[in-house]
Structure 1
Amino acid sequence: MALPRTHLRTGHPTATSADPHWQPWSDAWTRHIPTLTDRHDLRVTVAPGAGGGAPACFYPDARRIEVDATHIGAPDITNPARAGHKRLVPTAYGLLVHEAAHATHSLWTTPPGTPPVVATVADLLEESRAEHRQRSRRRADRRWLRHTVTHLLNPDGAPIDDPWHAGQLAALLLARVDARIVTAKDLKGVRAAVTAVLGRNRLLALRDIWRHAHTVDDTDAAQMLDLAWRWCRVLGIDPHQQPTPPTADLGVFAGQLAQALTDYLAHAAGLTPAEYTAAHLETRHRAPAAWTHRDPRDAERDAARHLAARLRHARIRHPEPATRPTAVPPGRLRTRHAITAQAQIAAGALPTATPWQRRSTLPPHKPTLHLAVLVDTSGSMRSYAAPMSSAGWILAHAAHTTQAVTTTISFGSTATLLVAPRRHPTQVLEMTAAGGTTAFLDAVKLADTLLHLRHRATLRMLAVVSDGDLPNADAAQRLISTLHHTGCTVLWLRPANLPGHTFTHTTTLLVDDPVHAVGTIADAAVTALDNA
Structure 2
Amino acid sequence: MPAHAHVQHAPPALTEAEWAHARWEDDGGPIYEPPPGPQAGHWLRIAAALTDRLPELADREDVLVTCEQTTRSGAPAAFYPALARLEIDRALFAPLRPHTIDPSQPGDEENYPVAWGAFTHEAAHAAHSRWTTPPELRGTALDAAAQLLEESRAEHAHLNRRPGDRRFLRSAAHTLILADCTAKGVSDRWQAATVAALILARRDAGILDPDETEPVHDSVTQILGPDLLATLTAIWTAAHTTGDTDGQAMLNHAEAWCQALSANPAALEPAPDSQPGEHTGGLATAIGAVLGRVRTNEAAQNAAQARVDAARAARAEARAARAAWQRQAARLAEKVFAPGSRPYTPGKAVPGRRRSPVSGTRPPTPAEKAAAGQLARALRAAAYRERTPTVTASAAPPGRLNMRQALAREAQLAAGATLTATPWTRTTYRPNAAPPLRVGIAVDVSGSMDIAAAPVASAAWIMAQATALTDPDSRSATVAYDRSVTAITTPGRAPARVTQFDARGGGHSLAEAIDALTSALGLDRPGAGRLLVIASDGYYRPDEAARASQRITPLRADGCAVLWLAFAPDPHPLPGTALLELADPAQAATAIGQAAIAALATTNRP
State TM-score, norm by structure 2: 0.42
State TM-score, norm by structure 1: 0.48
The structure in which a higher percent of residues are helix is: 2
Greater C-alpha Rg: 2
